[in-house]
């Protein structure tokens, strides 16, 4: 039955796709089996992460990009994943101001999916990756992933992308520095959206200075981004030869969208030519396995070891009756013995 569903998905049936996405998101047996099968058919889609502060116009941009990408490459389908951990409702329906992307619904080669839950596969990043795999196997050539740039989990989400777009707006003031400190490093393309507002050019200049400073710093440290990437395969970084372009857009008026699309396609070509497409792909798979393994081990541990035992050992260490090391050794030994017993 599942394989009939998957065949239907492969043939482009949207209902089948929707059902498989739900199965995967809910972590059902059927969903996990589907992923096992579908993963083998992935590896062609360009995953594009769009992150930035709340209300900066990410959805509007994604909306415009989806349209432009469809026009440029009509043979490719476009998937949109809106990662919204704060709201259980589609596209944050609680906020009336938000763009709901309804005007994309007439194009049957565009598929929009919201994702609010962490799901069975671990964190948001793993969940996003799982949905991406389904879209990739279903023949979607572009996968746009929108996430609010707020914390580490969002950074993890965009780390899975081939191309990361960081969106900002004019006049965010001095705090721009702190917002951008971590997030600039993951940007392949920087966008100053709402460029119809005053201060857009200053924001561009500011961002350019910061990008150049960051680039200089990475060279002064004797490290190129590429080396960072190889050293720490879990972290996606921009390449040694890719300097992130900084673009102005007015997403709601479709201004600057062509240039942004150019940058996205150029970045993909750059990744392929430099071998980084492959490297990123391999690194993402490694990271995915590691994260799931850690989550799985932790879950096994929590099943094997009573929480009272953990609490009691913590308490003893807090009283300095035993060392933290010893507490951990006792717990790991207990876990090991217990899992041996249960598997016998």
Ligand X SMILES: Nc1nc2c(ncn2[C@@H]2O[C@H](COP(=O)(O)OP(=O)(O)OP(=O)(O)O)[C@@H](O)[C@H]2O)c(=O)[nH]1
Residues 47, 160 contacting (CB under 8 angstroms) = yes
**Stretch of 70-78, 93-101, 103-111, 122-130 lying at the interface with ligand X (CB under 6 A):** 93-101
| Position among 98, 162, 180, 267 found at the interface with ligand X (CB under 6 A) | 98
Report CA 80 to chain centroid distance, whole Å: 12
- Residue 59 interacting with ligand X (CB under 6 A): yes
- Residue 56 interacting with ligand X (CB under 6 A): yes
**Contact partner at residue 159 from Mg ion, ligand X, none, CB < 5 to 8 Å by partner kind:** none
Name which of 252 and 309 has its Cβ closer to ligand X.
Answer: 252
In the complex, which residues of this chain contact Mg ion (CB under 5 A)?
58-59
Minimum CB separation of residue 312 from ligand X in Å reads 44
Q: Measuring CA to CA, which residue among 13, 48, 265 is closest to residue 142? A: 48
- Residue 227 interacting with ligand X (CB under 6 A): no
Measured CA to CA, the distance from residue 230 to residue 58 in angstroms comes to 30
**Stretch of 67-75, 231-239, 247-255, 336-344 lying at the interface with ligand X (CB under 6 A):** 247-255
Write the CB contacts of 38 (distance below 8 Å, at least 6 apart in sequence): 6, 20, 133, 134, 136, 137, 138
| Position among 92, 119, 244, 245 found at the interface with ligand X (CB under 6 A) | 92
Question: Residue 179 half-sphere exposure, CB side, CA atoms within 13 Å?
Answer: 18
Name which of 54 and 151 has its Cβ closer to ligand X.
Answer: 54
- Residue 55 interacting with ligand X (CB under 6 A): yes
**Stretch of 6-14, 115-123, 135-143, 246-254 lying at the interface with ligand X (CB under 6 A):** 246-254
Mark 120-149 with x for binding to ligand X (rule: CB under 6 A) and - for no binding: ----------------------------x-
Structure token pair of residue 313: 């050992």
- DSSP track, 177-189: HHHHHHHGGG-SE
Name which of 155 and 327 has its Cβ closer to ligand X.
Answer: 155
- Residue 200 interacting with ligand X (CB under 6 A): no
Phi-psi region of 169 (alpha: psi -120 to 50; beta: other; left: phi over 0): beta
Measured CA to CA, the distance from residue 208 to residue 187 in angstroms comes to 12
Q: Measuring CA to CA, which residue among 15, 30, 284 is closest to residue 138? A: 15
- Residue 193 interacting with ligand X (CB under 6 A): yes
Measured CA to CA, the distance from residue 99 to residue 69 in angstroms comes to 19
**Stretch of 4-12, 50-58, 175-183, 330-338 lying at the interface with ligand X (CB under 6 A):** 50-58
Contact residues: ligand X, CB under 6 A: 54-60, 92, 97-99, 148, 193-194, 196, 250-252
């Amino acid at each position: 039955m599942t394989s009939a569903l998957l065949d239907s998905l492969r043939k482009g049936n949207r209902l089948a796709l929707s059902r498989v996405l739900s199965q995967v998101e809910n972590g059902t047996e059927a969903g996990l089996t589907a992923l096992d099968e579908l993963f083998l058919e992935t590896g062609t889609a360009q995953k594009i992460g769009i992150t930035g502060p709340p209300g900066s116009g990410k959805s509007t941009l994604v909306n415009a990009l989806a349209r432009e990408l469809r026009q440029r490459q009509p043979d490719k389908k476009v998937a949109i994943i809106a990662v919204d951990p704060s709201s259980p409702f589609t596209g944050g329906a609680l906020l009336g101001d938000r763009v709901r992307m309804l005007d994309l619904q007439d194009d049957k080669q565009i598929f929009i999916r919201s994702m609010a839950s962490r799901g069975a596969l671990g964190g948001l990043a793993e969940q996003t990756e799982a949905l991406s795999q389904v879209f990739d196997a279903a023949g979607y050539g572009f996968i746009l992933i929108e996430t609010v740039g707020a914390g580490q989990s969002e950074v993890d989400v965009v780390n899975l992308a081939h191309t990361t777009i960081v969106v900002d707006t004019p006049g965010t003031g001095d705090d721009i520095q702190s917002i951008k400190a971590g997030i600039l490093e993951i940007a392949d393309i920087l966008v100053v959206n709402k460029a119809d507002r005053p201060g857009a050019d200053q924001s561009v200049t500011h961002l350019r200075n910061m990008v150049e400073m960051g680039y200089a710093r990475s060279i002064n440290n004797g490290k190129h981004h590429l080396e960072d990437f190889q050293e720490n395969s879990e972290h996606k970084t921009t390449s040694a030869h890719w300097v992130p372009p900084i673009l102005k857009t007015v997403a709601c008026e479709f201004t600057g969208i062509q240039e942004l699309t150019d940058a996205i396609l150029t970045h993909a070509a750059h990744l392929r030519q430099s071998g980084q497409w492959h490297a990123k792909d391999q690194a993402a798979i490694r990271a995915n396995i590691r994260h799931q393994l850690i989550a799985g081990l932790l879950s096994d541990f929590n099943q094997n070891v009573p929480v009272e035992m953990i609490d009691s050992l913590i308490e003893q260490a807090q009283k300095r009756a035993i060392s933290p090391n010893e507490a951990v050794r006792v717990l790991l030994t207990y876990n090991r013995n217990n899992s041996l017993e249960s598997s016998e």
